[in-house]
Amino acid sequence: MQNRSGPANLSLSVVWAAAFARAAASLCILAALIVLTGAVDALAQGSRDARAFAATLGDKDRKEFEDWFTARTFYNAELDAYWGKVEAKRASRRKKKAQEEALVEADYVDSFPPEYKGPALGKRLADAWAKFQEDEEPRDKPPPDEIPGLDVYLLEAKRQYGFEPERIAEREFKRRYAAEALRLGLTREQVVRVYALETGGLGTADMQAGIHPIRKTGKPISSALGYAQLLNANSIGELVKHGGDIVERLKAIARQPGLSSERQERIAEKVTALGKMLARVRKVPNQWASHVAFARTPAGQGVHAINIDGDIGPWLQVIKLKGIKDIATRAGRGDINPTELELMNLAGPGTGLEMMTSVGRGMPTPNFFERRGYYRNSVVRGRTSAQLLDALEERMNQNEKNSGAVEFYAVFDEVIAAQGSRQARQ
């Protein structure tokens, strides 16, 4: 007679001893208790499917599965406890920063997430377990949320606001981007090296994170678009802050002498659409969480398409970078270099500055990124802040040799030369 006992039938004393010993070895006693709670809950929730699946297996396969399932359950609970501790430390730092108290090493988690070191599950069993779970899922279970692609942003822009972004040649987009950057005081190196890191030095004006800019293959991994890879919520926030100025600049272009009637009509359409967008986004509370929530709606998704418009996109993205540089200047970092600018762009301005402090530089990166973002971004994982800066520098050095970055440098040189010629004639 085969033994059908699965992981859900482990005695509580065994579960307690195993969970507590494992957690206590790497975390504090309080975290160990959290691990225990999580492990027991996970066993209870997953035991029915696991026990049913184990009952379909022979002795050897069943033992392999049960050993793996138990180990993964404890590991997942330990991982939850680690990230719970990270978030608790982060919340404590927010309070200290709000009260202008100095941060010290004890305000951070000084380790990286635990790694799974338990038994593996062979591919054959793993595939069978995945298929079993899929078959057991309720038929009316909603599909997992998918990150919208560029087609969704374009569709909602037209549907919600009657807006169709004007697509222009890539080199001309770069030229307008460079001219705007220089006008606002950003340097050639700051802009191109951020572009090289964010897009691999190959990015196009309509590049979305996860999609190869040349082959157009892949799947979106975030809403990030364009040369500076603005998130959908970034587009909303920048439109709230600068939308009025963008509208006025469009109107000024329309008043230029010699402009064709077709161009005037196209700009008028943009002004009308932006007016509708502004009226909508100004109804949303002007805070990041509200912008993130609005970005998930069709009306919020429609705003994101302004990034790829030939007139609006370069202005919007450069304004975002200029805003980051201004924050650094106000914090006494007026000499911020391209790598530090990119760190602030990647992690968020305030977080990036914190990572560059004397205490923050030595801390593991999980302290500064949300759990999902930490695992999604390979350059972030397993590094301290100082090591991340080094890695960003190295990637910039490599990627600025790629064709898009080389062209961008050349475009900057052309714009700078043209500006010099105009000044010499004046």
Average pLDDT over residues 279-283: 96
What's the pLDDT tens digit per position in 334-354?
889 999 999 999 999 999 999
Amino acid letter at 44? Answer: A
Phi, psi of 384 (to 5 degrees): -85, 170
Q: Is 364 helix (H, G, I), strand (E, B) or coil?
A: strand
Above 80 in pLDDT, residue 5? no
Q: What is the DSSP letter of 65?
A: H
Residues found in the chain: 426
> pLDDT at position 142, please?
55
When the pLDDT of each residue in the chain is averaged and rounded to a whole number, the result is: 88
Above 70 in pLDDT, residue 16? no
Between residues 1 and 259, which one has the greater pLDDT? 259
pTM (predicted TM-score):
0.82
Residue 363: C-alpha distances to residues 91, 109, 359, 380, 385 (Å) = 16, 8, 7, 12, 6
Above 60 in pLDDT, residue 21? no
Please list, in sequence order, all residues whose beta carbon lies within 8 angstroms of the beta carbon of residue 306, skipping any fewer than 6 positions away.
Answer: 157, 163, 165, 235, 239, 274, 277, 312, 313, 316
C-alpha span between 44 and 38 (Å, rounded): 10
What's the pLDDT tens digit per position in 351-409?
999 999 999 999 999 999 999 889 988 999 999 999 999 999 999 999 999 999 999 99
Contacts 24+ apart (CB under 8 A), 126-131: 128/53, 129/53, 129/65
Residue position matching structure tokens 């065994």? 14
Confidence band of 37 (pLDDT split at 50, 70, 90): very low
C-alpha span between 293 and 34 (Å, rounded): 30
Above 90 in pLDDT, residue 23? no
Q: Which of 179, 193, 186 is nearest to 406 (CA)?
A: 193
> Could you tell me what percent of the chain has a pLDDT over 70?
86
Residue position matching structure tokens 């759990």? 371
Confidence band of 48 (pLDDT split at 50, 70, 90): confident
Average pLDDT over residues 231-241: 96
What's the pLDDT tens digit per position in 149-186?
999 999 999 999 999 999 999 999 999 999 999 999 99
C-alpha span between 276 and 128 (Å, rounded): 52
> pLDDT at position 250, please?
96
375 and 399 in contact (C-beta within 8 Å)? no
> Could you tell me what percent of the chain has a pLDDT over 90?
77
C-alpha span between 19 and 379 (Å, rounded): 32
Give the best-scoring range by mean pLDDT among 44-53, 72-81, 295-304.
295-304
Give the best-scoring range by mean pLDDT among 7-16, 132-141, 228-237.
228-237
Least confident span in 12-21, 309-318, 324-333? 12-21
Quick count: other Cβ atoms within 10 Å of Cβ 242? 17
> pLDDT at position 143, please?
57
